[in-house]
């Protein structure tokens, strides 16, 4: 009998210890979850002005009485650009709210005053402040085209003689980056090709584009606009490699890699692709040599039976180490 009593005592002692451990690790205080919502410290920016070109960043602080899902939305007063940061907790601090000048919803930010709003899930309270961008974020990489200086000598194009053709640089306030973008539109009822632009290396004063030879570390990025109600456009990017460095691309014995995008969305969207992931014609052995690219071709395609096709493009840029984070 004493033996069984000892076993029972040991068991109860173990459960008691185990309960203490569970109590210490079960999670937040119930008051932190189900208590009354109130603002303890309002929204404050770590600095009123930020210069992203000098490596600065800004973060935001605030404190509330209970744990809550929150959303921090930063909106450019001039550009309309948006950055959205989300999180969960009672305290907003540098580790969760630092903004490096990047964009969530295009266009990109510019030098401007930004409105900052902090809202909480299930609550009517919204906290506000402002921050001023003295200089917007810059993106490292080789800029192929942003159309801000107009048509560059050395670029070439081919445009079909269809209907409603409009292949032009536009400055109409709708560009996602600065002021200009390239518009491609038309009706071609006999061919998939509507028109194209060739960004030749000669336009940049080189025989091949000044790019890294590491295809696993190089990304091609572009901003593409999908026209509402017209999801029939495609854009095909072709990358011609002059592998024998003879000054021209030969499709018979040199590689051409391509990336085709069906534009089935509305508004501006960033597309990025690693160069080593591109599929090619295999004519030159199929080895990706981005430092041998002597032209990037931008083709606007559409099913001939689909009618009017419209797409807009901007900010074509090669980046290293990672895709563009504008």
Domain boundary among 101, 116, 135: 135
- What pLDDT is recorded for position 326? 85
- The DSSP secondary structure of 42-79, one letter per residue, reads EEEES-SEEEGGGT--B-EEEEEEEEEEEEEEEEETTT
Instruction: Answer whether residue 4 is part of any domain.
Output: no
Q: What band does 27 get if pLDDT is binned at 50, 70 and 90?
A: low
Q: How many CB atoms lie within 10 A of CB 316?
A: 22
Q: The domain spanning residue 120 has which CATH number?
A: 2.60.40.2550
Question: Does residue 3 or residue 253 have the better pLDDT?
Answer: 253
Are residues 221 and 249 located together in one domain of the fold?
Answer: yes
Q: Which of 101, 135, 169 is the last residue of a domain?
A: 135
The reply to whether 93 and 169 lie within a common domain is: no
pLDDT at position 29, please?
76
243 and 151 inside one domain: yes
Q: Is residue 189 part of a domain?
A: yes
Q: Is residue 124 part of a domain?
A: yes
| CA 177 centroid distance within chain | 12
Answer yes or no: do 223 and 304 share one domain: yes
Write the CATH number for 240.
Answer: 2.60.120.260
Q: Which among 135, 158, 174 is the end of a domain?
A: 135
Q: Where are the alpha helices (DSSP H) in 203-303?
A: none
Percent of the chain with pLDDT over 90: 85
Alpha-carbon distance of 178 to 148, in angstroms, equals 8
Q: Mean pLDDT across the stretch 60-73?
A: 96
Residue 66 structural domain? 30-135
Same domain, 149 and 289: yes
2 compared with 156, residue with greater pLDDT: 156
Is the pLDDT reported for residue 214 higher than 70? yes
Nearest Cα residue to 316 out of 297, 300, 292, 288: 297
> Which tokens in the block code for residue 190?
């006999």
Alpha-carbon torsion 205, 209, 213, 217, what sign? positive
In this structure, are 104 and 158 located in the same domain? Answer: no
| Res. 13: pLDDT tops 80 | no
150 and 112 part of one domain: no
pTM: 0.82
Q: Does residue 100 sit in the same domain as residue 197?
A: no
The tens digit of pLDDT for each residue in 182-195 reads: 999 999 999 999 99
Task: Among 17-31, 159-173, 259-273, 310-324, name the one with the lowest average pLDDT.
Answer: 17-31
154 and 297 together in one domain? yes
H-type alpha helices, the chain:
2-25, 30-34, 94-97
14 belongs to a structural domain: no
Specify burial of residue 141 (Cβ count, 10 A radius: 0-12, 13-18, 19+).
middle
d(CA 235, CA 167): 14
Number of domains in the chain: 2
Q: Report pLDDT digits (tens) over 131-160.
A: 999 999 989 999 999 999 999 999 999 999
235 and 119 belong to one structural domain: no
Write the pLDDT tens digit of every residue in 283-309: 999 999 999 999 999 999 999 999 999
């Amino acid at each position: 009998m004493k033996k069984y009593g000892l076993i029972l005592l040991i068991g109860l002692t173990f459960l008691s210890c185990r309960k203490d451990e569970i109590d210490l690790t079960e999670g937040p205080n119930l008051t932190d979850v189900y208590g009354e919502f109130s603002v303890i410290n309002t929204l404050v920016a770590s600095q009123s002005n930020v210069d992203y070109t000098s490596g600065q960043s800004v973060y935001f602080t605030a404190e509330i009485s209970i744990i809550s899902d929150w959303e921090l939305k930063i909106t450019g007063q001039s550009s309309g650009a948006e950055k959205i940061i989300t999180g969960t907790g009672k305290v907003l601090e540098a580790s969760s709210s630092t903004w490096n000048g990047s964009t969530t919803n295009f266009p990109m930010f510019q030098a401007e005053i930004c409105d900052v709003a902090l809202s909480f899930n299930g609550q009517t309270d919204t906290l506000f402040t402002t921050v001023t961008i003295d200089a917007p974020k810059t993106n490292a990489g080789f800029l192929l085209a942003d159309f801000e200086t107009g048509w560059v000598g050395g670029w070439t194009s081919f445009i079909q003689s269809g209907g409603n053709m409009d292949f032009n640089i536009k400055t109409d306030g709708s560009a996602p980056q600065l002021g200009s973008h390239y518009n491609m539109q038309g009706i071609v009822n006999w061919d998939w090709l509507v028109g194209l632009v060739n960004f030749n290396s000669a336009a940049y004063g080189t025989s091949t584009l000044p790019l890294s030879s590491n295809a696993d570390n190089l990304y091609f990025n572009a901003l593409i606009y999908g026209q509402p109600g017209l999801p029939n456009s495609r854009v095909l990017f072709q990358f011609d490699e002059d592998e024998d460095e003879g000054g021209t691309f030969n499709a018979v014995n040199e590689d051409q890699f391509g990336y085709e995008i069906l534009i089935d969305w509305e508004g501006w969207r960033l597309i990025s692709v690693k160069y080593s992931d591109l599929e090619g014609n295999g004519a030159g052995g199929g080895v990706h040599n981005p430092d041998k690219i002597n032209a990037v071709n931008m083709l606007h395609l559409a099913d001939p039976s689909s009618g009017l096709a419209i797409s807009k493009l901007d900010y074509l840029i090669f980046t290293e180490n990672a895709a563009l984070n504008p």
